[in-house]
Chain A
Amino acid sequence: MIRGWLAVAVFAGLVAMLAFGLTRDPSRVSSPLIGLPVPAFQAERLASADEHFDSTALRGEWSLLNVWASWCTTCLEEHELLMRLSQQLALYGINHRDTRDEARNWLQVYGNPYRASAFDEYGEVGIELGVYKVPETFLLDPDGVIRYKHVGALDEEAYQEQILARIREGRP
């Protein structure tokens, strides 16, 4: 009798483990940078090679740091939302592995939600931020600390539940 119940328990445990393991998205890897200040990096600005984009300037208010590219089709899915958010939040871009011409053209065609974009031609800034899949979006608090990272296209649900909730929580 005990043996029978033991078998049932082991089986139930196995099912629970598999249910947990198999329903997780393996392409979402959590970032070790969450809770840490945004890594210091300097890059040329997309708008002009003479101007610099300095990550240490990303403080003083909540901001979103969005990694994008003109070749990235998923980026178009979130673009409308970003355009809308740019009216209420500070949005900065990191133009990942792109060419200046194509990137600028893309912004002209679809609209530019960014206050400024860093031009990361060789993906070096991307490595500093642990970027592995474009688009990615980082939420920075007013101290410049990374509070959340979203991998893939940002949607309304993720914005409400992950980003807006954190900003509201952080504000007294």
Chain B
Amino acid sequence: MKRATAWGFCLLFAGSACLAVDEAADERYRNLLYELRCLVCQNQSLADSDAELAGDLRRRVQDLIDQGMSDKEIIAHLQARYGDFILYRPPLAWRTAALWASPFVLLALTAWLLLRRIRRGHARASGSLSDVERERLKDVLKRGSD
């Protein structure tokens, strides 16, 4: 409906601004397709997939854009039918907390282990000598001065 009105204005004014309206809708369409996963060929987005389902879903996305739905509403529309799996970016929620947190937890853990190791190495290198070592050092120095 919105698109029809836009085209109506185009016919009236034949201005370049109208083309911009259409281009913006096309760009939204393309961007949305890259956000959505095809459930048949699961590693392809709706933009890439040749599956019939992807074609049906592309048509649905275009219809919803034409109906004036926002990107968020369109994504919610498909998510309600196909679940989170249709999203390339999993939503941030409690059930996905482990998924989102694990890289940071692993990074923190590795950093902690690394720091600990470096500090230990440092302590060993610059630390004072043990009694046995001190005796030996004295020995070596004495021999050297003879």
Contacts and interface: CB of A to CB of B under 8 A. Distances in A.
Q: Do A and B come from one complex?
A: yes
Interface of A: 26-27, 29-33, 39, 97, 122-124, 126-130, 132-133
B40 A133 contact: yes
A132 B39 contact: yes
Contacts of B79: 32
Given A122-B56, A123-B56, A130 B40 contact: no
B6 interface: no
A75 to B, nearest CB: 16
Nearest to B84: A32
B82 A32 contact: yes
Contact of B82 (A29, A122, A123, A124): A29
Contact of A29 (B52, B59, B80, B85): B85
Nearest to B38: A132
Contacts of A31: 82-83
Contact of A33 (B39, B53, B81, B84): B81
B110 to A, nearest CB: 13
B138 interface: no
Interface residues of B, number: 16
Chain A at the B interface: mostly helix, strand, loop or mixed?
A: loop
Contact of A128 (B39, B53, B81): B81
A30 B81 CA distance: 11
Contacts of B59: 122
A133 B83 CA distance: 15
A128 B85 CA distance: 16
Contacts of A30: 83
Interface of B: 39-40, 42, 52-53, 56-57, 59-60, 79-85
B53 A32 contact: no
Contacts of A27: 42
B60 A127 contact: yes
B81 A129 contact: yes
Given A29-B83, A32-B79, A127 B40 contact: no
Contacts of B82: 29, 31-32, 130, 132
Nearest to B60: A127
Nearest to A97: B52
A31 B42 CA distance: 16
A32 B42 contact: no
A7 to B, nearest CB: 13
A123 B79 CA distance: 17
A130 B82 CA distance: 5
Per CB-CB distance, the 6 closest pairs between chain A and chain B, nearest first, are A132-B39, A130-B81, A123-B56, A32-B83, A29-B85, A130-B82
B94 to A, nearest CB: 16
Nearest to B54: A132
A39 B53 CA distance: 19
B56 A29 contact: no
Contact of A127 (B42, B57, B83, B84): B57
Contacts of B60: 124, 127
